[in-house]
Amino acid sequence: MSIAKPLKKAVAAVILDLDGTLINTGHFSFQFHGTDGILGDVLKALLLKYGKQWDGREAQKIVGKTPLEEAAIVVGDYELPCSIDEFVTQITPLLYDQFCNIKALPGANRLIKHLSGHNVPLALASNSPRAYIESKISYQQGWKQSFSVIIAGDEVRAGKPSPEIFLEGAKRLNIEPSRCLVIEDSLPGVTGGKAAGMEVVAVPSVPKQTHLYIAADEVISSILDLQPELWGLPPFEDWIDGTLPLEIWHIGGPVVKGFGRGSKVLGIPTANLSTKGYSALLSEHPSGVYFGWAGLSTRGVYKMVMNIGWNPYFNNTEKSIEPWLLHEFDGDFYGEELRLVIVGYIRPEANFTSLESLIAKIHEDRRIAERALHTPLYLKYKDDPYLKGSSVSRDSLVFIFLIVICFFIFLIKIFYLIK
């Protein structure tokens, strides 16, 4: 996968946060990653009853708080004519109805299966009430059995950033706190883990906030990037020639004009996709470099390497989708339907000290993707029906249009014959 890094510290157990670390909720706990998703839908509906519009402006203020603290922020900031307890009472059944729709974040199932499969003691520590935790993980296959210990926010006197929930976890695992590794997405969680005397890996859930996690022992972009061997734990063995196979996912739409950097600045012509309608998908998939197959409606199927993220070298203000089709085209194809099948992951998004180093890394990504897509593991997805769906659809529309025209011509001839 990469050059081996030195061991940071050997640990004997792992304590995981839930919301924002393993599952893509929003907490209510309200830990929220933008204005879309399950929690966003619930809040929009509930606040509408009060004549208010949820816009997600509290997202950073409520990350990692307890449910009552989060509710207090929303009630106060929106000046709602109800008590905090009344608000919690109203929103709770709405949330329970949505727990079945919560998705595991990329890498979560892989991590839990890997650690439990190697008999690494696992604890789940969340500020959410026990009933919320039990309900959420009941929809994630194998999770409940994988955790030897679950500690909830309503089982301790003080939630995160207090260290109590982590110390209780170590106590129930019967392992010294100093030999525990905490994996957290929020600042309160990182603070609590360090106060408990534990090693902490941060996976920030709020975009572009990595610089705030200075207390963490390591900061990574997503759980996909965790290297357990740095902590004396069994390494993942599923990386293949610098690539991580993924459960495939699809995305598509018309090719749009990007930032004007691809061809002009980088010499790399990307076929940008609009992010409109994909905010939930973008919040679900971490920033990084992916690869797979691209289908153009009128041209065919091509190899593709793609960046999803903020492009820190250019400091984008919005998360973007920038595929690079690995083929020399004669001209632009703005407006054409582009369909992508993403099959693997290469690396997290990174910043670079120079334009030259950025370009060199992109070309290295291309070489890795091209080599991987020749192998049977990834090559089989070239025939994914999704890639050709747009082509079939367009051809069908043309055929139908021609049939309709012929039919009208026939009717006109019949009309004149009768006349």
Nearest to 161 by CA among 125, 195, 123, 199: 195
Nearest to 31 by CA among 66, 80, 64: 64
- CB-based contact 42:25 (threshold 8 Å): no
pLDDT at site 356: 94
Please report, to the nearest 10 degrees, the dihedral formed by the alpha carbons of residues 275, 60, 311, 252 taken in order.
-20
pLDDT tens figures, 317-333: 788 889 999 998 887 88
pLDDT at 23 exceeding the cut of 70: yes
Distance CA 62, CA 70 (A): 5
Token pair in block for residue 116? 């439990």
Largest Cα–Cα distance in the chain? Answer: 98
CA 227 to chain CA mean position, Å: 18
Nearest to 319 by CA among 287, 351, 363, 366: 287
Distance CA 74, CA 83 (A): 11
Say what the pTM is.
0.82
Distance CA 32, CA 26 (A): 4
pLDDT at site 18: 95
Residue the block writes with tokens 């999704």? 386
> How many C-beta neighbours within 10 Å does residue 268 have?
16
Q: How confident is the model at residue 394 (pLDDT cuts 50, 70, 90)?
A: very low
DSSP-assigned states of every residue in 134-177:
HHHHHTSTTHHHH-SEEEEGGGSSS-TTSSHHHHHHHHHHT--G
Distance CA 261, CA 311 (A): 11
Q: How confident is the model at residue 392 (pLDDT cuts 50, 70, 90)?
A: very low
Residue the block writes with tokens 């089982």? 155
pLDDT tens figures, 53-87: 877 666 566 665 677 887 888 898 888 999 999 99
Cis omega (within 30 of 0) on the bond before 254?
Answer: no
Distance CA 95, CA 129 (A): 13
In the set 19, 70, 184, 349, the catalytic residue is: 19
Gap between the terminal Cα atoms of the chain = 79
Residue the block writes with tokens 């789940």? 124
pLDDT at 406 exceeding the cut of 80: no
pLDDT tens figures, 337-385: 999 999 999 999 998 999 999 999 999 999 999 999 999 999 999 999 9
Q: How are beta strands 180-184 and 288-296 bridged, if at all?
A: unpaired
Average pLDDT on 269-298 reads: 86
Tell me, yes or no, if 349 is annotated catalytic: no
Tell me, yes or no, if 55 is annotated catalytic: no
| More confident position, 129 or 14 | 14
Distance CA 414, CA 412 (A): 5
Burial class (CB in 10 A: 0-12, 13-18, 19+), 350: middle
Please report which helix (H) or strand (E) contains residue 415, including its range.
helix 385-418
Distance CA 196, CA 174 (A): 15
Q: How confident is the model at residue 391 (pLDDT cuts 50, 70, 90)?
A: very low
Token pair in block for residue 274? 């609009």
For 95-125, give the secondary structure using H, E and C.
Answer: HHHHHHHCEECCCHHHHHHHHHHCCCCEEEE
In the set 322, 337, 349, 384, the catalytic residue is: 322
Rg (CA), the chain: 25
- CB-based contact 235:119 (threshold 8 Å): no
Distance CA 359, CA 348 (A): 16
Tell me, yes or no, if 97 is annotated catalytic: no
pLDDT at site 263: 56
Q: In what order do the strands lie in the sheet with 288-296?
A: 244-254, 337-348, 288-296, 300-309, 320-325
